[in-house]
């Protein structure tokens, strides 16, 4: 096999010239496009990582807010429960006080009625005793002295 240098040398020179032309006009622009694209991809990845980090922080803040709101809600419910219990206790206490007042008034009223009835019975006994004494003695007795005698008699008997 024979090497034909007359073809190899001009071919090699053409190849280097072609390479330099490609390098000057195509490779640099292609590398620039590739580098630009690489930077865009890296920027997109960085942005995605930043967004992911931001999302994690927002989720953490959201979880903390939910926990805080839940605790606040429980405290609020407990506060309203305590207020309701207090109102319930006040209502029960007021009712018991009212029942005691009614009972006391009823007791006083019963006592007054008993005393009134007792006085009326005494008066009836006195009147009947006077009529009986008048009929027995067939004469009229001094009403005031007779009443005094009957009152003493009733006091001794215990009416």
Q: Where are the domains of the chain?
A: 9-139
The closest of 114, 94, 90 to 102, measured between CA atoms, is 94
What is residue 1's predicted lDDT score, i.e. its pLDDT?
61
pLDDT computed for residue 104 by the predictor: 94
Contact 141, 130 (CB under 8 A): yes
SS (H, E, C) 39-92: HHHHHHHHHHHHHHHHHHHHHHHHHHHHHHHHHHHHHHHHHHHHHHHHHHHHHH
pTM comes to 0.42
d(CA 57, CA 49): 12
Host H or E run for residue 115: helix 28-137
Which residue, 150, 159, 156, 118, is CA-closest to 131? Answer: 150
Task: Give the pLDDT score at 2.
Answer: 77
pLDDT at 159: 57
- Cα–Cα distances (Å) from 59 to 28, 71, 72, 73, 159, in that order, read 45, 18, 19, 20, 91
Q: Which residues of the chain have pLDDT under 50?
A: none
Q: Which residue has the tokens 């939910």?
A: 66
- The pLDDT, as a whole number, for residue 28 is 80
């Amino acid at each position: 096999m024979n090497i034909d240098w007359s073809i190899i040398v001009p071919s090699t020179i053409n190849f280097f010239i072609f390479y330099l032309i490609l390098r000057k006009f195509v490779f640099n622009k292609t590398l620039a496009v590739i580098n630009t694209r690489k930077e865009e991809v890296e920027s997109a990845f960085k942005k995605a990582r930043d967004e992911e980090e931001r999302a994690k922080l927002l989720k953490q803040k959201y979880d903390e807010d939910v926990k805080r709101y839940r605790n606040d809600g429980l405290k609020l419910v407990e506060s309203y429960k305590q207020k309701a219990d207090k109102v319930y206790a006040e209502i029960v206490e007021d009712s018991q006080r009212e029942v005691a007042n009614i009972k006391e008034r009823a007791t006083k009223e019963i006592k007054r009625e008993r005393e009134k009835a007792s006085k009326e019975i005494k008066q009836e006994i006195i009147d009947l005793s006077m009529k009986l004494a008048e009929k027995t003695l067939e004469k009229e007795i001094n009403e005031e002295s007779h009443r005094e005698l009957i009152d003493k008699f009733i006091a001794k008997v215990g009416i």
